[in-house]
Structures are given as C-alpha cells and as structure tokens.
Amino acid sequence: MSIHILCWILVLGYFYGGHLIDGTTFSKAALSISMNFIQVIEFYICYLWVYPRFLKKNKVLQLIGGILFTIGVFIALRYLIEEVLYLKWLGFHNYDDRTTAWEYISDNIYWSIGFIVTPAAVYGIEQSFKSEQMHRKLKEEVVKAELSFLKSQINPHFLYNTLNYVYSLAIPVSDKLANAVLRLSDLMRYTLNDSPDGKVSLDREVEYLESYVALFKMRFEPKFYVDFTTEGIANQKIASLILIPFVENAFKHGVVTDEAQPVRIRLKVQNKRLSFEVSNKISHAQKDHSSGIGMVNIHRRLDLIYPEKHELLISNNGNTYKSTLILHL
C-alpha cells in the first residue's frame, strides 16, 4: 500500500507541478482533478477486480467484459461529474454542446486506455515477483526436506527391515498380529518410496489410505465403522501423503465406533478435479495434548505444491467435523 501511495504522489505531483509552473485557470484545474479522480477509480477496478479474477486461462471473454465494464464506468463517471455536476454547481462543463454521443464515447475510450494498460502492467509485475518468491521458497523447502530425509533415512529403513523380521516371527504365533505387522510394514515402505517430483499415482495413495484404515480396524473391531468410497481414479498423479492427514485427524478426534454415524471418506475425480471429503462425529473424550502440527503442515504443503490450485473447506457444527479438499490436477 505504501508503494502505491508513493507512486500516486509522484504521478499526480508531476501532473499538477506542471500546472503550478505554467499557471492554470480554475476550470482547467477542476477538470484535471475530476479526470485524475476517475482514472484512479478505473485503475483500482482493474487492479483489484478485473485482472485478479479474469487474467487467467480460459477467462478471455470475462476479461474482455471486465475491461468494457471499466471503460463504461469511466465514461459514465466523467459525464456525471464534468457534464452534469460541474455545470450545475460551477457553471461550466468540459465538452462543446455540438459534440455528438459517438464523439464523446470515442474520445473517452481514448483517455481511458492508459489506465486500463497501466494496472495490467503493475499487476503482472507484482505477480511475477510473488511467483519468484514462491519459487525461491519452494526451493528452500526442497533443500530442507532433502536434508531432513538424509538425516532420518537410516532409522526408517532399519525399522522397516525390523518389521519384516517381526512379521516372520509373528506368523506362527497369531495371524492377527502378523497381519498388523504386515500392514504397518506396507505403510512404512510407502513413506520411504520417493519420486523426483514428489508425486505418486493416485491409486497408490489410495492403497496407502486403505492400509491405514485396515490397521485401525484391527484395533477397534468389531465395532469399527468407516465408509470409504472412491470414484474416477485412473492414471492421475498426486503429491505423496497429501490426503492422509485428513484421515488421521478424523480417527484421532472423531468417533469410529458409532454405527449410526460412521467416519465417511469420499474420493472423487472428475475432469482433472479431485474432491476428497472426510467427515466424522466429534469425540468429546479426553484428547492428548499434541500440537496439531499435521494440519499446519498440510496447509503449508498445499500452498507450496498446489498454489492457486486447491481449495480447503472446513466445517464444524459441534457434532460433526467435515473437511473437503479440492485439487485441480
């Protein structure tokens, strides 16, 4: 905001400095003030509304409509101030009485163009700076993640290999215990797998979620009620482990033993739009005092991996907690 104020001071100082040096009449000063006032309004209509909403792919018609609307506002305001209010209050107006409607409109289109183009340039430069900052931040996060992974790589692999050994020991003792160890081993193996871009196939992510649900089922069965459905899964790619925090949150803070109100997990993909919805009955039992870092991290990951390509909606009516994640793949 301070940069905008400084720029307007410089621009308007340049305009009115010339008037002070060369001298001017009251009518010319009044017309300059009205013109600049309307141009400022035009600038911010484009800068705050038209370009942020419509300067995107597949919104060309909306962008053209927004620009035409802004030009119409410019013409209407200039007519109202200079041809109606000035004439009524100050006794003069701007255009000659013989000016036709088309001449008036075409002349004002010419004067409005400058402050249609200028906010586009300002908005484009600001977005470029934001994109560069986001890119730099993402690179820093990648470096930190790589260092963290290298530091912790030995222990997870040791645990994974140990779990396989424990599984072989558990088979003759208890099928249920062996299956639990196997599920846990599958979860560990998935978290250790990595790809160059950090993304995996969606069906593998779903398999991980199913293993996680199955492991919890062993703990609570036979009273374990989770309704997990998927639709439209094909060859899509998704950021690894981006969905599991929502399921973890539902199991941790929800009720999984109420048949009348089970935990519901819905995953649907349609036209490169992924919708992941998790709802659960809220448990009012004593909770542990963890920091809730999982959901904090998921917000951070979504901002970094899917900037302007995700929506996260949370609702809580005191009885039911529902989270809906929408990703544009």
Q: How confident is the model over 79-102, as pLDDT tens digits?
A: 999 999 999 999 999 998 889 999
Are residues 270 and 299 in contact, defined by beta-carbon separation less than 8 angstroms?
no
- pLDDT computed for residue 291 by the predictor: 43
- Statement: residue 155 has pLDDT above 80: no
- Statement: residue 167 has pLDDT above 50: yes
Structure-token pair, residue 52 = 């942020």
- Statement: residue 253 has pLDDT above 60: yes
- pLDDT computed for residue 267 by the predictor: 96
In this structure, the strands spanning 263-270 and 226-231 are parallel
CA triplet 298, 299, 301: central angle to 5 degrees?
A: 60
Among 86-90, 187-191, 274-278, 291-295, whose mean pLDDT is lowest? 291-295
Quick one: average pLDDT of 268-276?
A: 93
Secondary structure letter of residue 82 according to DSSP: I
Give the Cα separation of 79 and 34 in Å (integer).
Answer: 10
Q: Write the pLDDT tens digit of every residue in 21-56.
A: 666 788 888 888 899 999 999 999 999 999 999 887
Q: What is the mean pLDDT of the chain?
A: 82
Give the Cα separation of 79 and 115 in Å (integer).
Answer: 17
Structure-token pair, residue 38 = 């309307």
Quick one: average pLDDT of 51-77?
A: 90
Q: Which residue has the higher pLDDT, 29 or 280?
A: 280
Q: What is the CATH code for 200-328? A: 3.30.565.10
Structure-token pair, residue 159 = 């645990």
Quick one: average pLDDT of 175-202?
A: 71
DSSP letter string, 20-67: HHH---HHHHHHHHHHHHHHHHHHHHIIIIIHHHHSSTT-HHHHHHHH
Q: By C-alpha distance, which of 190, 194, 170, 195 is closest to 180?
A: 170
Are residues 79 and 104 in contact, defined by beta-carbon separation less than 8 angstroms?
yes
Structure-token pair, residue 268 = 């649907």
All structural domains of the chain with their residue ranges: 1-151, 154-193, 200-328
Are residues 251 and 226 in contact, defined by beta-carbon separation less than 8 angstroms?
no
Q: Helices in the chain by DSSP H: which ranges?
A: 2-22, 26-45, 51-54, 60-78, 86-89, 101-152, 154-170, 175-192, 202-220, 244-253, 293-305
